Homo-oligomer: A and B are copies of this chain.
Amino acid sequence: PTALAVLSSDALSSVAYATQEILLVLVAVGTAARWWSLPIAGAIALLLFIVISSYRQTIQAYPKGGGAYIVAKDNLGQYPGLVAAAALLTDYILTVSVSVAAGVEALSSAFPQLLAFEVPIGVVMVALITWANLRGVKESGRLFSVPTFLFIGLIALLVAVGFIKAAVVGVPPGEAFIHPTTGSETLSLFLILRAFASGCTALTGVEAISDGVPVFRPPEARNARITLTWMGVILGSMFLGITGLCYLYGAVPKAEETVVSQVARQVFGTQPPFSLLYYAVQFATALILVLAANTAFSDFPRLSFFLARDGFIPRQYANRGDRLAFSNGILTLGLFSSALIVIFQGDVNRIIPLYAIGVFTSFTLSQTGMVVRWWRRREPGWVRSIALNGLGAFATALVLVVVAVTKFATGAWAILVLIPALVWLFTRIKVHYSDVASQLSLDHSQYVPRRLKQKVVIPVGGIHRGILQALDYARSISDDATAVYVDIDTQSTEAFIERWGKWTDVPLVVVPSPTRSILEPLLDYFNAVESTCQDSVMTVIVPTFVTAKWWQNLLHNQTAFLIKSALLLQRRKVVVSVRFYLDR
Contact = CB atoms under 8 A, between A and B. Distances in A.
Interface string A457-476: 00001011110100111011
A436 interface: yes
Interface stretch (A59-67, A126-134, A187-195, A512-520): A512-520
- When all copies of this chain in the complex are counted, the total is 2
A435 B547 CA distance: 11
A478 interface: yes
B465 A442 contact: yes
A584 interface: yes
Given A451-B475, A451-B476, A476-B536, 5 more contacts: A429-B555, A442-B464, A449-B475, A452-B473, A575-B577
Contact of A440 (B453, B464, B555): B464
Interface in A410-438: 429, 432-433, 435-436
A219 B464 CA distance: 46
A315 interface: yes
A185 to B, nearest CB: 41
A486 interface: yes
A182 to B, nearest CB: 44
B578 A461 contact: no
A376 interface: no
Contact of A321 (B472, B478, B518): B518
Contacts of A450: 472, 475
Contact of A472 (B314, B449, B559): B449
A240 to B, nearest CB: 48
B488 A475 contact: no
A574 B436 contact: no
Nearest to A583: B439
A165 interface: no
A138 interface: no
Contacts of A270: none
A111 interface: no
A439 B555 CA distance: 15
Given A454-B477, A476-B453, A576-B574, A323 B442 contact: no
Contacts of A384: none
A454 to B, nearest CB: 5
Closest 3 CB pairs of A and B: A440-B464, A452-B476, A477-B477
13 contacts: A316-B558, A319-B559, A320-B559, A321-B513, A324-B517, A432-B552, A439-B584, A440-B580, A452-B475, A454-B476, A454-B477, A476-B537, A575-B577
A310 interface: no
A488 B321 CA distance: 7
Given A316-B558, A488-B320, A505-B449, A465 B478 contact: no
Given A441-B464, A518-B320, A576-B574, A472 B486 contact: no
Interface in A535-584: 536-537, 539, 545, 552, 554-556, 558-559, 571, 574-584
A448 to B, nearest CB: 10
A504 B324 CA distance: 31
Contacts of A452: 472-473, 475-476
Contacts of A314: 554-555
A494 interface: no
Contact of A486 (B320, B435, B515, B577): B320
A371 B478 CA distance: 63
A531 interface: no
Given A516-B322, A581-B571, A439 B465 contact: yes
